[in-house]
Amino acid sequence: MVSSSGTEPRRVTIHDVARSAGVSRQTVSRALNDKDEIDGSTKQRVLDAARELGYRPSRFARGLVRQDTTTIGLVIPDLLNPFFTEVAAAALEAARTRGWHVVVYDTADSAEEELGTLQVITSQVDAVVGYFRCSEDDLERFTRGAPVVLIGREHHTARFSSIRIDGEEGVRAAVAHLVARGHRRIGMLDHDGRAEPSIRREWFTTAAAAYGIDAGLVVGADQSADGGGAALRTLLAAHPDVTAVFTFNDIIAIGALREARRLGRSVPQDLAVIGFDGLQLGTLVEPPLSSVALDTRKLGALAIDQVGRLLTGIDPLGADGLVVRAELRPGGSA
């Protein structure tokens, strides 16, 4: 099929098909995009010739002339992380209803890859939405004027939009829930690996203060179930009187759940657990995870919506409209 002669196998163009079928380019184009103004028999003849030659239209040439097809780049650190999976799925769905194409880039949790991706992506897509950790300067430099929507991150320059995650009220509700159940010693398994303490920890701290709870029982956890388990062990070793934990996210919470079982603490009787994110995953474990739940579907959809507004330039949402609020969703683990 493919001739492997020494010379470069020149691409089959619409011209070749036209010549082979004895018609003009335009007629070929008409046949392929089945438009009017073409006779049935010649159409068939053209189609046959195209198939015969293995002709495939160039998406670039086509895209150049009809400026439809918008493609947006979705950048996430790790598709295997269920949180990003859910966001990505939501974004894909939202894009699909608009007929947009989404190129997904998984940066493998590497800052280096993120920058590399950013560099290459800009020349390949019309707009970018993603979860970035790099500096705004780098973003500014590498996106080169493309519309950008940041997820779950504050931004300080006007160049970007970002979807803010507001969990303050939800975390307060979670603490209130625990307090109402009689818990007074409430620990937190935070996400470490970041330089500064997480915003979620701040929410926890203020909520705890509001209820007169000691907010100092915090242990850093690796971003994994095993990390959550290990952190719980550390926490309980240091503070055996802890009866409830709030975690940075559901992955860590699930690890804690598992570890609690291994330690012989039954949930929620001996230990109450509340996670953050509200992943579907949390419904699979026993007992179902209580969580300060984020509407990941809305998160993805909102990001796509805003990117569309930026693309057309009409009526982009301001910061007020770009918020997703997390709410306490009781499962059985607290």
Partner DNA sequence: AGCGCTCCCGTGAGCGTTCACGTGAACGCT
Partner DNA sequence: AGCGTTCACGTGAACGCTCACGGGAGCGCT
Q: Which residues bind a second copy (CB under 8 A)?
A: 1-2, 4, 11, 51, 54-64, 67, 69, 71, 78-80, 85-86, 88-89, 92-93, 96, 99, 101-106, 108, 113, 120, 122-125, 144-146, 225, 254-255, 258, 261-262, 280-281, 283-286, 313-314
53 contributes a contact to DNA by CB under 7 A: no
64 contributes a contact to DNA by CB under 7 A: yes
**Phi and psi based region of residue 250 (left: phi greater than 0; alpha: psi -120 to 50; beta: remaining):** alpha
CB 127 → DNA: shortest distance, Å? 16
Contacts of 187 (CB under 8 A, 6+ apart): 217, 218, 219, 235, 239, 242, 244, 245, 246
- Find the binder of DNA among 44, 51, 52, 61 (CB under 7 A): 61
CB closer to DNA, 24 vs 135: 24
Identify what 96 binds: DNA, a second copy, none; CB under 5 to 8 Å per kind.
a second copy
Name the one range near DNA by CB under 7 A: 56-64, 229-237, 247-255, 267-275.
Answer: 56-64
| Cα–Cα distance measured from residue 253 to residue 257, given in angstroms and rounded to the nearest whole number | 6
CB 115 → DNA: shortest distance, Å? 21
Partners of 220 in the β-ladder: 190
CB closer to a second copy, 88 vs 186: 88
CB 44 → a second copy: shortest distance, Å? 15
Q: What's 269's DSSP letter?
A: T
Enumerate residues 11-50 that contact DNA by CB under 7 A. Answer: 11, 13-15, 22-29, 32-33, 36-40, 42-43
85 contributes a contact to DNA by CB under 7 A: no
CB 53 → DNA: shortest distance, Å? 11
- Find the binder of DNA among 34, 66, 195, 318 (CB under 7 A): 66
Q: How many residues sit close enough to DNA to count as binding (CB under 7 A)? A: 31
Find the distance separating the first CA and the last CA of the chain, reported in whole Å.
Answer: 64
CB 106 → a second copy: shortest distance, Å? 5
Identify what 37 binds: a second copy, DNA, none; CB under 5 to 8 Å per kind.
DNA
Structure tokens at 125: 């897509």
CB 103 → a second copy: shortest distance, Å? 5
Contacts of 169 (CB under 8 A, 6+ apart): 325, 326, 327
What are φ and ψ of residue 215, in 5° steps? -95, 15
Structure tokens at 209: 């203060």
* Long-range CB contacts for residues 221-225, cutoff 8 Å, separation at least 24: 221/189, 221/190, 221/191, 221/192, 221/247, 221/248, 221/252, 221/255, 222/192, 222/193, 223/81, 223/191, 223/193, 223/249, 223/251, 223/252, 224/251, 224/252, 224/255, 225/251, 225/252, 225/254, 225/255, 225/258
Start-end of H helices in 57-110:
59-65, 82-98
- Find the binder of DNA among 6, 9, 34, 56 (CB under 7 A): 56
Residues that bind DNA (CB under 7 A): 10-11, 13-15, 22-29, 32-33, 36-40, 42-43, 55-58, 61-62, 64-66
